[in-house]
């Protein structure tokens, strides 16, 4: 009977390889191993593409709002020690992403650059093929409500939100006393931390206010795996821009 094993195929393949080209494999076993590895690589690429598409599908937009798509560590101006500290923590967060699942909270007054540095982290990670979603709690709640209206399950939305590599919840605590909001945020944080995926929180609330809004338990959980709390306590950058315009 004719030999149609991989060994035979290997011999035929070798005949097709032009002289001077060194094949990546010289035995049928090496060839099979190479095929398996290539297959795995391709599957990982497809998976990443699907993840990015999914992240974009959740909100009908890219993971970072266009307003903050140009925010980087480089264009974050440092004028005081607080900003220097915040920039250095944000940078090291991005560079160490994937080692552990550290969460972060950027807390402080308006216009101090919380979104800027969160977007800088996000843009850094997106450029390295991680999936990132920065969403305000208000937008998130709109999505949750749209799920109810569209007959889609809230669980599938939460599933999607829990799959992205980094989820940043923005403007946490703006709507006070919303029980539903508290439950949804708690669920998201619980589920992400349980599957070892970090959460970022951007808020105007201080530690006690955030704990009162979300509950002690969830704030405690954010501290797991050396979670990072950064206070943004300096003048608004927005005031500065207005001031510059007035001077001109």
Ligand X SMILES: Nc1ncnc2c1ncn2[C@@H]1O[C@H](COP(=O)(O)OP(=O)(O)OP(=O)(O)O)[C@@H](O)[C@H]1O
Give the integer Cα–Cα distance in Å for 111 and 241.
10
How many angstroms separate the Cα of 17 from the Cα of each of 20, 101, 148?
A: 9, 47, 59
Q: Which of 95, 93, 135, 86 is nearest to 114 (CA)?
A: 86
Taking the complex as a whole, how short is the minimal distance between the CB of residue 115 and Mg ion, in angstroms? 4
Taking the complex as a whole, how short is the minimal distance between the CB of residue 120 and Mg ion, in angstroms? 13
User: Does position 115 bind Mg ion by CB under 5 A?
Assistant: yes
Tokens 């095929």 correspond to: 35
* Closer CB to Mg ion, 115 or 123, in the complex: 115
Taking the complex as a whole, how short is the minimal distance between the CB of residue 171 and Mg ion, in angstroms? 6
Strand pairing partners for 199?
Answer: 167
Taking the complex as a whole, how short is the minimal distance between the CB of residue 46 and Mg ion, in angstroms? 34
* Closer CB to ligand X, 98 or 110, in the complex: 110
User: Which residues are within 8 A (CB) of 171 and not within 5 positions of it... i.e. 6 or more apart?
Assistant: 136, 137, 138, 202, 203, 204
Region binding Mg ion by CB under 5 A among candidate stretches 19-27, 110-118, 123-131, 216-224: 110-118
Strands 166-172 and 104-108: unpaired
| Partner touching 238 among Mg ion, ligand X, none, CB below 5 to 8 Å by kind | ligand X
Taking the complex as a whole, how short is the minimal distance between the CB of residue 109 and ligand X, in angstroms? 7
| Partner touching 178 among Mg ion, ligand X, none, CB below 5 to 8 Å by kind | none
User: Which residues are within 8 A (CB) of 80 and not within 5 positions of it... i.e. 6 or more apart?
Assistant: 234
Q: Which residues bind ligand X (CB under 6 A)?
A: 71, 75-77, 83, 110-116, 202, 204, 232, 237-238
| Partner touching 204 among Mg ion, ligand X, none, CB below 5 to 8 Å by kind | ligand X
């Amino acid at each position: 009977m004719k030999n149609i094993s991989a060994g035979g195929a290997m011999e035929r393949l070798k005949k097709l390889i032009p002289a001077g080209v060194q094949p990546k494999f010289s035995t049928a076993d090496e060839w099979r191993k190479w095929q398996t590895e290539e297959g795995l690589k391709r599957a990982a690429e497809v998976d990443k593409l699907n993840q990015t598409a999914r992240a974009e599908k959740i909100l009908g937009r890219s993971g970072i709002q266009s307003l903050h798509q140009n925010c980087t560590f480089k264009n974050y101006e440092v004028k005081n020690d607080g900003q220097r500290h915040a920039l250095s923590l944000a940078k090291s967060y991005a560079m160490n992403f994937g080692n552990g699942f550290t969460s972060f909270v950027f807390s402080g007054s308006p216009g101090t650059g919380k979104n800027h540095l969160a977007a800088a982290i996000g843009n850094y990670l997106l450029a390295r093929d991680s999936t990132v979603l920065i969403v305000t709690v208000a937008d998130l709640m709109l999505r949750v409500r749209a799920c109810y209206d569209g007959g889609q399950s809230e669980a599938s939305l939460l599933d999607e939100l829990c799959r992205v590599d980094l989820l940043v919840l923005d403007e946490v605590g703006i709507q006070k006393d919303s029980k539903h909001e508290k439950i949804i945020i708690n669920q998201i944080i619980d589920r992400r931390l349980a599957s070892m995926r970090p959460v970022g929180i951007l808020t105007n609330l201080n530690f006690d206010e955030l704990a009162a809004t979300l509950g002690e338990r969830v704030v405690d959980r954010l501290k797991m795996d050396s979670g990072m709390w950064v206070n943004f306590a300096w003048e608004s950058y927005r005031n500065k821009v207005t001031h510059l315009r007035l001077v001109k």
